[in-house]
Chain A
Amino acid sequence: MTATNVSLPPAPVGAFTRAAFEAHLASLPPLPEWWLARKRAAFERFAALPLPVRTDESWRFSNVAGLTLDGFAPPAPARAVPFASIGLSKAARLIFANGRLFSREILAPDLGRRGVVVDTLQNALREHGDLVREHLLAQPARLGSGKFSALHEAFLVDGAFIHVPRGVEVELPIGIFSFALGDRAAVFPHTLVVADEGARVTVIDYFGSQDDTERQLAVGANDLYAGHGARITYVGKQDWSHQALALQSNSTVVRRDASVQSLNLHLGARQARHESHSQLQAPGANSEMLSLTVARDDQEFDQRTLQIHQAPNTRSDLLYKNALLQRARTIFSGLIVVDPDAQKTDAYQSNRNLMLSDEAEANSLPGLEIQANDVRCTHGATTSRIDPEQEFYLQARGIPKRAADELLTFGFFEEVLNRLSQDDLHAALRTLIQTKFAGDKAAR
């Protein structure tokens, strides 16, 4: 049966019609057969699935009316990208603009000699096809965004591929920049990281726009695969246009004695949905999931998380902190799943919200699904306001109320930043948050 014969009513595809999909395929270089087939299948799934509605449990509290796919278009190639540096030395830097590679710099000269690959997905499909096939979008979207994951897979143009071979440690971070430029631009950024046995790597994924008034759509994903004893540190900085609709899906797979630490910094977009899956697949696997959000004006940040313990003696630790200003909204929904044989699981989940405005709204839905009997799992959510005595203390030192509240908010975030073992990364992120908090785009 072909899709044209499906008797269902036409699916809400918005601008992403079958004709748009065929035009997208025609714009790509020749693809491996398996990838072309997957893209076609993804498009069919995307077209068949309905848009989320208010009654979907996995979209509870979300502004489903904001999920429109109308009016977007594949953006034109970019001639320039915004200046983007947070002052960190890097081993390599890939810049994507409107979905296509803008520049690629290998800054640590020994990377190639040590077998580290930092390249585009388009090149990797040709040169590292087996690895890409094994790990690219290999895990199902389990948190409600099946339609958007399919859209991402169908319309994915290019992305970053990082492979660190066995035993290799990349000391400096690898920076991936993805920009959406122009009104109505739709982008589908992707970062795939594969760390083989004992490898170590830090990846910083930046998402940004040039103009906060441009209406854009960003449907991104990243896959992190930590092989036996590997260590991946992943930092995502989401700073899309404040008129953007952004949906990002993260999949982390952690193998025996491996460890992944991810910290997502949420600053941009009008409405941002972030889904994060961690699978602890073998004993000794460890996943630390961290997030900081500065929600201001009318922004909505919708975060859904899944910690899946599939093997004994695994650990996951989630700490999501949100600061809410003005009329901003946040939604946190977290689930810890412990499979029957995942004994001695150690799982934590904590969502903390700091309300800096009476009009802001924080929703929190922590959850557990435990099928093993010898586990340690805790979860909790708190919502607090600025402590007036702390505020008075700072004011009594001459610090104006607004600056005092800022300082207290940075203090609130510091617990998360302190989890990062790299001091320069910590300092760079702190500066970013301060800039965002001040609403000062010029200094960025």
Chain B
Amino acid sequence: MSSLVIQDLHVSIGDKPIVKGLSLTVNSGEVHAIMGPNGTGKSTLAKVIAGHPDYTVTGGDVLLDGRSVLAQEADERARAGLFLAFQYPSEIPGVSIANFLRAAVQARLPEGEEIDATAYYKRLYAKMDLLKIDRKFTSRSVNEGFSGGEKKRCEILQMAMLEPKMAVMDETDSGLDIDALRIVSEGVNALRGPGLGVLMITHYQRLLTYIVPDFVHVMYDGRIVKSGDKSLALELESRGYDWVKQELAALPA
């Protein structure tokens, strides 16, 4: 049983506060969705959890299984069980998916232990079969010249291979047509289970009809301002975000 606990998190880029006191707990087996209008700090939250060096945490904490990850480099966090599915995955020319994932798997082995190449490929192909990805995919350079859908499927394949405890999925639906969205969602659903906690960040409700969340949170101005179950997402879909903003404005400061 794992947990990702975000406690009163404050984050700035330079001097500009972006996340302003956000708290949230994700346990394994749960799927949480964070929704909110653009510019509210959702993607910043995702990158901060993963350890992007451009952001400064000015307060609060992020704990994986009770241990703070904030002092750790991105690679340490990933090996501890965190995974970020990128909104805009980088293209890495000249590095094949097979070699890239091999390096990532190798990094998880104890010092001095060499990866078993046969077992690695067997597992890689099994995951690709599970996600219905053509095996020829592995010899292509990471994300280079990929369509939006291929990039997102590549992210899901990485997630399947690395078996994280907690996955943060940043706008996984962006740039996808409805067919690609369905395929990617099927992939995520195939990986759902008692060993995985998911934090899905999305602007649109449509992703949530494919990946049904257990909890829905509304993020606005760097904070979570409303939480509920999947019906909250439907309410946001029909009433928009203005309704939440008005509710907030009505509250005493």
Residue in B52, B83, B94 whose Cβ sees the most chain A Cβ within 10 Å: B94
CB-based contact B95/A392 at 8 Å: no
In the bound complex, residues from chain A placing their C-beta under 8 Å from that of B50 are 396
Residues 93-121 of chain B, each 1 if its beta carbon lies under 8 Å from chain A, else 0: 11100011101100110000000000000
Q: Which of B86, B90, B95 contacts A414 (CB 8 A)?
A: B95
Residues 66-91 of chain B, each 1 if its beta carbon lies under 8 Å from chain A, else 0: 00000001110011000110100111
**Does B51 lie at the interface of the complex (its beta carbon under 8 Å from any beta carbon of A)?**
yes
CB-based contact B78/A398 at 8 Å: yes
In the bound complex, residues from chain A placing their C-beta under 8 Å from that of B84 are 396
Cα of A401 to Cα of B76 in the assembled complex, Å: 10
Cα of A418 to Cα of B139 in the assembled complex, Å: 13
In B21-73, which residues have CB < 8 Å from any A CB? 50-53, 73
Among the stretches A219-227, A368-376, A383-391, the one at the interface with B is A383-391
Q: Which of chain B's residues has its CB closest to A400's CB?
A: B75
**Does B185 lie at the interface of the complex (its beta carbon under 8 Å from any beta carbon of A)?**
no
**Does A381 lie at the interface of the complex (its beta carbon under 8 Å from any beta carbon of B)?**
no
**Does A415 lie at the interface of the complex (its beta carbon under 8 Å from any beta carbon of B)?**
yes
Q: Which of B52, B53, B107 contacts A400 (CB 8 A)?
A: B107
**Does B248 lie at the interface of the complex (its beta carbon under 8 Å from any beta carbon of A)?**
no
Q: Which of chain A's residues has its CB closest to B84's CB?
A: A396
Q: Which of A388, A393, A403, A415 contacts B94 (CB 8 A)?
A: A415
A190–chain B nearest beta-carbon distance, Å:
34
**Does A106 lie at the interface of the complex (its beta carbon under 8 Å from any beta carbon of B)?**
no
Residues 69-85 of chain A, each 1 if its beta carbon lies under 8 Å from chain B, else 0: 00000000000000000
Cα of A404 to Cα of B103 in the assembled complex, Å: 9
Cα of A25 to Cα of B166 in the assembled complex, Å: 74
In the bound complex, residues from chain A placing their C-beta under 8 Å from that of B89 are 393
B165–chain A nearest beta-carbon distance, Å:
13
Cα of A400 to Cα of B108 in the assembled complex, Å: 10
Known: A392-B53, A396-B51, A398-B107. A411 touches B95 (CB 8 A): yes
CB-based contact A407/B95 at 8 Å: yes
**Does A410 lie at the interface of the complex (its beta carbon under 8 Å from any beta carbon of B)?**
yes
Cα of A371 to Cα of B89 in the assembled complex, Å: 47
In A384-429, which residues have CB < 8 Å from any B CB? 387-390, 392-401, 403-404, 407-408, 410-415, 418
Q: Which of A401, A407, A413 contacts B103 (CB 8 A)?
A: A407
**Does B244 lie at the interface of the complex (its beta carbon under 8 Å from any beta carbon of A)?**
no
**Does B158 lie at the interface of the complex (its beta carbon under 8 Å from any beta carbon of A)?**
yes
In the bound complex, residues from chain B placing their C-beta under 8 Å from that of A389 are 90
CB-based contact B52/A392 at 8 Å: yes
Cα of A415 to Cα of B94 in the assembled complex, Å: 7
In the bound complex, residues from chain B placing their C-beta under 8 Å from that of A403 are 103, 107
**Does B92 lie at the interface of the complex (its beta carbon under 8 Å from any beta carbon of A)?**
yes
In the bound complex, residues from chain A placing their C-beta under 8 Å from that of B79 are 398
**Does B174 lie at the interface of the complex (its beta carbon under 8 Å from any beta carbon of A)?**
no
B102–chain A nearest beta-carbon distance, Å:
10
Cα of A412 to Cα of B144 in the assembled complex, Å: 13
CB-based contact A395/B74 at 8 Å: yes
**Does B211 lie at the interface of the complex (its beta carbon under 8 Å from any beta carbon of A)?**
no
Cα of A393 to Cα of B91 in the assembled complex, Å: 9
In the bound complex, residues from chain A placing their C-beta under 8 Å from that of B86 are 393, 396
CB-based contact B162/A414 at 8 Å: no
Q: Which of chain B's residues has its CB closest to A393's CB?
A: B90
CB-based contact B90/A411 at 8 Å: no
CB-based contact B104/A399 at 8 Å: yes
Cα of A397 to Cα of B85 in the assembled complex, Å: 10
**Does B2 lie at the interface of the complex (its beta carbon under 8 Å from any beta carbon of A)?**
no
CB-based contact A397/B95 at 8 Å: no
Q: Which of chain A's residues has its CB closest to B78's CB?
A: A398
Q: Which of A387, A398, A410 contacts B75 (CB 8 A)?
A: A398
Known: A395-B74, A397-B162, A415-B94. A407 touches B107 (CB 8 A): no
Residues 315-345 of chain A, each 1 if its beta carbon lies under 8 Å from chain B, else 0: 0000000000000000000000000000000
In the bound complex, residues from chain A placing their C-beta under 8 Å from that of B103 are 394, 399, 403, 407
CB-based contact B162/A390 at 8 Å: no
CB-based contact A410/B94 at 8 Å: yes
Residues 103-145 of chain B, each 1 if its beta carbon lies under 8 Å from chain A, else 0: 1100110000000000000000000000000000000010000
In the bound complex, residues from chain B placing their C-beta under 8 Å from that of A395 are 51, 73-75, 78
- With contacts A398-B162, A411-B93 known, what are 5 further pairs, Cβ within 8 A? A392-B74, A397-B162, A400-B73, A411-B94, A412-B94
Provide a sorted-by-A list of 19 A–B residue pairs whose CB atoms are within 8 angstroms: A390-B90, A393-B89, A393-B90, A394-B92, A395-B75, A396-B84, A397-B78, A397-B100, A397-B101, A398-B75, A398-B78, A398-B79, A398-B162, A399-B75, A404-B75, A407-B99, A407-B103, A411-B95, A418-B94
Q: Using a CB–CB distance below 8 Å, which chain B residues touch chain A? A: 50-53, 73-75, 78-79, 83-84, 86, 89-95, 99-101, 103-104, 107-108, 141, 158, 162
